[in-house]
Amino acid sequence: MKHIIILGDGMADHPIERLGGKTLLQYANTPYMNLLAKNGRTGRLMTIPEGFLPGSEVANTSILGYDLNKVYEGRGPLEAASIGYDMHSDDLALRCNIICLENSVIKNHHGGHLKTEEGDMFIRYLNDKLGNDQIKFITGIQYRHLLIIKNGNKHILCAPPHDHPNEEWRPLLVRPEDGWADKADGERMTGQATADLINSLILQSQQLLSEHPFNKERAKRGLDVANSIWPWSGGYRPSMKPLGEIYPQITKGSVISAVDLIRGIGKYAGLHRVEVEGITGLADTNYEGKAEAAIRALETGDFVFLHIEASDEAGHDGDLELKLKTIEYLDSRIVGPIYNKVKEWAEPVCIAVLPDHPTPVEIRTHVKEPVPFLIWYHGIIPDDVQTYDEVSCAYGSYGLLHLEQFMNIFMKL
C-alpha cells in the first residue's frame, strides 16, 4: 500500500459567532473531505509534546513520527537544510523573518507578503551592510530567510513574530534562557552575548531598511513596509534518521511544499523534494500543480508528504473569508483530484488529511490543541463519523492520539 499525507497547515479553528457558532471546517463547503471521513475513519491528534510551543516545525516533525525530545533543534537548521546551506558544527542557524513594524507594534510577520525576489534584495543588502566572518544572512523564500551566527548560543528566548501581532516589539527582544546569561555552551558565546548581538542586528536592520528605496516607495503608496528583521527559533545541526529507517515501508518518499521549513524537515527525513512551478505558500499557490506532482510521486514512489501553507497564513492575518477559501481550495483542488485519481489504482493508496495545529482567525496565532484527522483507503471499515471537522472527529474510532502514534498507525495500514 502507498501512503499520502495531505496537510492543511493551520486549517483547524475555533467556533466563530459570525458563522453561527461553527468552526471554519464545519462551515466550509468540503464535499471531498466529508466523503473521505464518511467512508474512512477519523480521530484527533495532539501534535505538540509537553514543553514545546505549537510551532509548525514541532507539529510537522511530530506528525512524521519523530520524538522531538531527541531531534528538535528549531526552525533555523531545518530551513538551512532546505536552502542548501550545509551547517558547520559551530553554527547557530536562526529563522530570519522580514517583518512590518508600525507605531511600535508588530503589524505583521511577513513584511507585506514579500515576493522571494524582494526578500532576496533585502537579504543581500543586509548581508552587505551587516555580514562578516561571524554573521551571514542567507536568502530563503518570500519573507522567510536565514541568519547564521558563528559560535552563537542556542539557549536564548526568541519570540516568534506570528505569535505576537499588534504587540509592542521592544518587550519581545531576545533574552537568554534562565541560567544561560553568563554561561557559554562549550566554546560558544554566552547566552547574553548572543542575545545582545541579535538585538543589535534587529536595531541596525530597522535603520537600514527604513532608508531603502523600496520601502520608501511603498510607504508613499500607503503599503506595508518591510522594515525590520526578526530572528527566532535558532539551533545547531540536528540529527534525524531517514523515515525509511524508521518505517521500512517507505522505500521512496517525497515532500511537496512551498515552505523552506517543511522542505528542510523532508531533507533530514530522507524525502525527495519535488519542485512545483508557481507555488507560493499563499491562497494563490498552484494547487493543481501540487496535486499533479503528488500523483506522479505516488506513481513512482510509496510515500508523499503534501503540505499546503495557505490556511495558516490566512489565520495569522485574521482573514476569515480568505481562510474559508483556502480550506475549500484544498478540498476541491487537492483532495478531490488526488482521491479521484488514486481510488481505482490496482495498488491501494492510503490517504490522510489533517492540519498540523489550529491557527484560529480570531486569535491569529497557533494554539496547542488537538487537530482532527481522517484516514481513508479502499476497503477500510468506516466509523460512524459523517463529516470532517473538529467536532465530528472527536467521536471518531481512533479517539485521541498523541504525537508519533499517528504515523505508527498510518504506516501499518
15 with 83, same domain: the answer is: no
| Same domain (yes/no): 365, 265 | yes
Question: In Å, what is the CA distance from 15 to each residue of 198, 261, 342?
Answer: 39, 29, 33
Same domain, 177 and 96: yes
Based on the domain organization, do 114 and 209 belong to the same domain? yes
CA-closest candidate to residue 138, choices 224, 185, 77: 77
Angstrom CA distances, 409 to 17, 249, 255, stand at 36, 13, 20
From 173, 208, 236, the end of a domain falls on 236
Q: Could you tell me if 139 and 200 are in contact, meaning their C-beta atoms sit under 8 angstroms apart?
A: no
Helices (H), 227-286: 243-246, 260-268
**How crowded is the C-beta side of 269, counted as CA atoms within 13 Å?**
31
Listed in sequence order, the residues at least 6 apart from 52 whose beta carbon sits closer than 8 Å to its beta carbon are 58, 68, 72
Helix (H, G, I), strand (E, B) or coil at 156: strand
Question: What would the grid cell of residue 17 be?
Answer: 459567532
- Asked if 305 contacts 255 with a C-beta cutoff of 8 angstroms, the reply is yes
* Residue 78: half-sphere exposure toward Cβ, Cα within 13 Å: 25
One domain, residues 254 and 402: yes
Domain finish residue from 236, 267, 285: 236
Bridge partners for 99 per DSSP: 228
Q: Where does a domain end: 236, 261, 282?
A: 236
Determine how many CB atoms are found less than 10 A away from the CB of residue 272: 16
Beta strands in 248-314 (DSSP E): 253-256, 272-273, 303-308
Choose among 313, 256, 332, 265: nearest CA to 290. Answer: 256
- Alpha-carbon dihedral angle through residues 254, 382, 311, 343, given to the nearest 10 degrees: 50
Co-location of 52 and 165 in the same domain: no
* Max Cα distance, the chain (Å): 63
pLDDT of residue 239: 86
Residue type, 102: E
Give the single-character DSSP code of 223.
Answer: -
DSSP state of 366: -
Beta strands in 296-403 (DSSP E): 303-308, 349-354, 371-376, 400-402
First and final CA of the chain: distance in angstroms?
A: 7
Q: What is the pLDDT of residue 82?
A: 86
Residues 219 and 268 placed together within one structural domain of the fold: no
Q: Which domain holds residue 176?
A: 78-236
Euclidean distance between CA atoms 196 and 225, whole angstroms? 25
- The answer to whether the predicted template modeling score (pTM) of the entire model surpasses 0.75 is yes
Contact by Cβ (8 Å): 114, 179: no
Whether 246 and 226 share a structural domain = no
Residues with Cβ within 8 Å of residue 394, at least 6 apart in sequence? 44, 372, 400
Angle 56-120-107 from CA coordinates, rounded to 5°: 55
- Looking at the structure, tell me whether residues 257 and 402 fall in a common domain: yes
Is there a single domain that holds both residue 202 and residue 255?
no
Answer whether 353's CB lies under 8 Å from 311's CB. Answer: no
Identify whether residues 140 and 256 lie together within a single domain. no
| Bridge partners for 157 per DSSP | 175
Residue among 261, 262, 258, 362 nearest 317 (CA): 362
Q: What does the pLDDT read at residue 274? A: 98
* Distance between CA atoms of residues 292 and 296, nearest Å: 6
pLDDT in single tens digits along all 413 residues of the chain: 999 999 999 999 999 999 999 999 999 999 999 999 999 999 999 999 999 999 999 999 999 999 999 999 988 999 899 888 999 999 999 999 999 999 999 999 999 999 999 999 999 999 999 999 999 999 999 999 999 999 999 999 999 999 999 999 999 999 999 999 999 999 999 999 999 999 999 999 999 999 999 999 999 999 999 999 999 999 999 889 999 999 999 999 999 999 988 999 999 999 999 999 999 999 999 999 999 999 999 999 999 999 999 999 999 999 999 999 999 999 999 999 999 999 989 999 999 999 999 999 999 999 999 999 999 999 999 999 999 999 999 999 999 999 999 999 999 99
C-alpha distances (whole Å) from 397 to each of 51, 131, 360, 373 are: 28, 54, 26, 11
- Looking at the structure of the chain, the number of domains it has is 2
Q: Give the pLDDT of residue 343.
A: 96
Is residue 264 located within the same domain as residue 382?
A: yes
CATH of the domain at 326: 3.40.720.10
